Amino acid sequence: MAQDLVDGLLIKARSHLPPPSEPLGKLSKRDRKGVAVIKLKNPPVNSLSLEVLTEFVISLEKLENDKTFRGVIVTSDCPGIFSAGLDLTEMCGKSQAHYAEFWRAVQELWLRLYLSNLVLIAAINGVSPAGGCLISLTCDYRVLADNPKYNIGLNETLLGVVAPSWFKDTLVNTVGHRTAERALQLGLLFPPAEALRVGMVDQVVPEDQVHSTALSVMAQWLAVPDHARQLTKSLMRKPTADRLVKQRDADIQYFLQFVSRDSIQKSLRMYLDKLRQKKG
Ligand SMILES: CC/C=C\C/C=C\CCCC/C=C/C(=O)SCCNC(=O)CCNC(=O)[C@H](O)C(C)(C)COP(=O)(O)OP(=O)(O)OC[C@H]1O[C@@H](n2cnc3c(N)ncnc32)[C@H](O)[C@@H]1OP(=O)(O)O
């Protein structure tokens, strides 16, 4: 049975955890076949708060260091939402020190995911804007559920902000320069068929087959000897990652300057207000 391959690892935000005695991320070692599942669980929309980013990095590090694991399926535990992207409240009305800590955590997660030695398969079972899309783009393969609501893309310009150069590089490396340029400038969120057409995802399948498809794809990738696949991945990705590694502090300073501007704070606040007013 395909399910027998899978082990469970749940990332939760601390505020949603039951007793404090429980560990934040649960890493069960029952699995024998070396595939873990990271399920993002930060209701209501799986926004990537500082806490979730940090926990994600810790969980990945544990898996990287545990040689029984060779692959990870990244998916969501929030119905209909893969991830709403970076937590906008972390970028609004906070101190410079907080922005710096938050941005370093975003960088760290991207670097860990993008250069991971593990095979990473994104099982995208919900809408996936901006930072949510970025997480999937760092994976080796993307399976998207065929639901017209499940848009995916880097929509930063629609918030009045700019996708940083390494977000842009990740997209260019996936869909090519022209598609990325158009998608980034217009802040396009692609419905499944379009996402498949432009190469933003590798497969679109019925919603109830996302997980089993991710497992089948994983088996195919794990059939390749690890050392050869890992070196090849590094050859393809390290030059892009190195561009950020060489200027992480400058990138943080740039973020601080940008996000602290009154005009950017105003844009982010207006966007958040619009989201909140949607209900009422
Ligand atoms: C070197 C660098 C230089 C310069 C860079 C400078 C700037 C930095 C840019 C950084 C790049 C940014 C990346 C991002 O990821 S920004 C986030 C983008 N995300 C989005 O646009 C998605 C917004 N959300 C939605 O569209 C919807 O919420 C969604 C996901 C479709 C779900 O819809 P629905 O189920 O109807 O749920 P609600 O909209 O009602 O939302 C419920 C609840 O969640 C709050 N919320 C939603 N998204 C976020 C978020 N990203 N962060 C924080 N909070 C979010 C929403 O406000 C509601 O809150 P409430 O209090 O009303 O319950």
Ligand 1 atom 38 nearest Cα: 275
Tell me the CA end-to-end span of the chain in Å, nearest whole number.
46
| Whole-number pLDDT of residue 242 | 98
Residues 13-21, mean pLDDT to the nearest whole number: 35
Average the pLDDT over each of 15-24, 138-147, 178-187 and give the range with the smallest value: 15-24
Atom of ligand 1 nearest to the CA of 88: 52
Question: Best of 275, 276, 278, 279 to mutate for ligand 1, by most ligand atoms within 8 A of CB?
Answer: 275
pLDDT band at 33 (very low <50, low <70, confident <90, very high): confident
- Burial profile 119-156: b = 16 or more Cβ within 10 angstroms, e = fewer: bbbbbbbbbbbbbbbbbbbbbbbbbbbbbeebbbbbbb
Alpha-carbon gap, residue 103 to 251, rounded angstroms? 9
Alpha-carbon gap, residue 122 to 104, rounded angstroms? 23
Who lines ligand 1 at CB under 6 A? 44-45, 47, 81, 84-89, 127, 129-131, 155-156, 159, 161-164, 251, 254-255, 258-259, 272, 275-276, 278-279
More confident residue, 8 or 255: 255
Active site residue 51: no
From residue 279, how far is each of 28, 267, 276 by CA, in Å? 39, 20, 6
Query: What pLDDT, in 10s, does the model give residues 208-228?
Result: 999 999 999 999 999 999 999
Residue whose tokens read 């800590």? 101
Task: Identify any residues that bridge with 129 across adjacent strands, giving them in sequence order.
Answer: 153
pLDDT band at 94 (very low <50, low <70, confident <90, very high): very high
Query: Is the pLDDT reported for residue 259 higher than 80?
Result: yes
Alpha-carbon gap, residue 119 to 99, rounded angstroms? 31
CB atoms inside a 10 Å sphere around CB 182: 12
Ligand 1 atom 3 nearest Cα: 255
CA of 263 to the centre of ligand 1 (A): 18
Active site residue 155: yes
| Whole-number pLDDT of residue 23 | 33
Alpha-carbon gap, residue 146 to 205, rounded angstroms? 5
**Spatial contact of 122 and 85, defined as CB atoms under 8 Å apart:** no
| Whole-number pLDDT of residue 271 | 96
- Residue (of 234, 222, 194, 73) closest to 142 by Cα position: 73
Ligand 1 atom 62 nearest Cα: 276
Atom of ligand 1 nearest to the CA of 131: 15
Ligand 1 atom 39 nearest Cα: 275
| 78: three-class secondary structure by DSSP | coil
Residue whose tokens read 């505020």? 15
| Whole-number pLDDT of residue 11 | 61
The pLDDT > 70 percentage for the chain reads 88
Average the pLDDT over each of 29-33, 165-169, 224-228, 269-273 and give the range with the smallest value: 29-33
Average pLDDT, the chain: 90
